[in-house]
Amino acid sequence: MMYNYYGNIMPRQMHDPSYLHYQSEPNADTSAFDAAYLVMPHVVPYPAAAGQTSGAASVQKAKTPVQKSWLQNQKSWVQNQWNHNQGMTVPMSNWVPYPNYVNYDSQWSYAAASGMGYVNRVPYPNYVNYMNHSRSAVITAKEGDVTGDGYRDNVFITAEQTPDSPFLQNITLVIQNGKTSEYQRVLLKESSGYNPTLFLGDFTGNRVDDILVIIDTGGSGGTIYAYVFSDLNGQLMQIFDAEDFNNQYKYQVRYLNYFRAEVTSFNFRQKFWIDLQYKGKEYLSEVYKPDGTLKQPVEGWVSPLSGLYPIDYDRNGTFELQALQSIAGRYNADGIGYMQTVMKWSGRAFTGDRQNAVITGGDIR
């Protein structure tokens, strides 16, 4: 019996008629449903036939094609999940939640109006480690063809929320294949932080959406974790990592006499000069003598990645990545400008195409 596998995770559902209505369907094989309803606390009630009200009493006479399709598709979906679990490819404890499962009635109406079974339209909710009473929740979601098969896939981020705090843990990228409805989960290398976001767009030029994930670290420098994932030859690959970028691009920052700072970019073999007079007289008097020479040597640094932006500079449908790094002077909050690096996909990696140093303006006085 499938009950033996699930145990009594949600025994209260056994006494709720709205979760047992399928047993009233004549000649229905319910063996695949028995355990499923123990972990489906929000499944849409079985649809009432014309003139009936929803609930266990009404389904005894339910004979509509849509109702039968709904029942059969539920059975197929549950059985498929069971088969995956038996093969140890998709553990049931890792079922993922559907991100936009809010208005159950309107979603059922949409499925019924289309003449299709319910599970062909909206996947079931709340399967992130439900058996372990996980605190995981869907944080953000997008739709796009990230597998290249012509079907729109569901892409979303789940995480465990910290009570009374925006801090998130176990941040995970989840992809539901639009063709097969199967799930793929990727626990990110840096899986704790704040405000994770998703962007879908083509970075590699193959006309298939890639996945950009950005997470705020919460550090004082406003730094981020960032990853790009791409389906290459049928396999999901990570093709960008902020940590690799930070380790790859090297700089030197030093103050010069007469109110200037010099930034050397070793990767591009270029130098940039920043006029510091916009920082104001009080700031300059702390660093420079009245004649404009330095009181003592000052060296700054370029901070790790603080922004990563998809921009289609060439307007050809393929996005470039614009990386933003803060240039710090005497201390972390002493920003004197930013390094902007534009990267393009070379076929094997993102490579630097061009680089600029930029500053923010000062107040007009």
Cβ 118 vs Cβ 108: under 8 Å: yes
Q: pLDDT digit of tens for each residue in the chain (365 aa)?
A: 222 222 222 222 323 333 333 333 334 344 433 333 333 333 334 444 444 444 433 333 344 565 555 555 555 555 554 444 443 333 333 333 333 333 333 333 333 333 323 222 233 333 333 323 456 899 999 999 999 999 999 999 999 998 899 999 999 999 999 999 999 999 899 999 999 999 999 999 999 999 999 999 998 789 999 999 999 988 999 999 999 999 999 999 999 999 999 999 999 999 999 999 989 999 999 999 999 999 999 999 999 999 999 999 999 999 999 999 999 999 999 999 999 999 999 999 999 999 999 988 777 77
Residue 360's pLDDT is: 83
Residue tagged 């290459």 (tokens): 232
Predicted TM-score (pTM) of this structure:
0.65
Residues 202 and 206: their CA atoms lie apart, in Å, by: 7
Residue 99 backbone dihedrals phi, psi, to 5 degrees: -70, -25
Going by C-alpha positions, the residue among 104, 142, 144, 152 that lies closest to residue 126 is 104
The upper half-sphere exposure of residue 336, i.e. CA atoms within 13 Å in the direction of its Cβ, equals 28
Residues 264 and 44: their CA atoms lie apart, in Å, by: 61
Residue 71's pLDDT is: 57
Cβ 159 vs Cβ 196: under 8 Å: yes
SS (H, E, C) 79-116: HHHHHHHHCCCCCHHHCCCCCCCCCHHHHHHHHHHCCC
Residues 301 and 332: their CA atoms lie apart, in Å, by: 9
What torsion, rounded to 10 degrees, do the Cα atoms 324, 325, 328, 333 define? 70
Instruction: Please classify residue 65 by burial: count the beta carbons closer than 10 Å to its beta carbon, then call 0-12 exposed, 13-18 middle and 19+ buried.
Output: exposed
Task: Quote the tokens at residue 321.
Answer: 């990545």
Q: Where are the beta strands (DSSP E) in 248-319?
A: 251-256, 260-265, 270-275, 299-311
Residues 362 and 365: their CA atoms lie apart, in Å, by: 9
Q: Which residues contact 66 (CB under 8 A, 6 or more apart)?
A: 47, 111, 112, 115, 116, 117
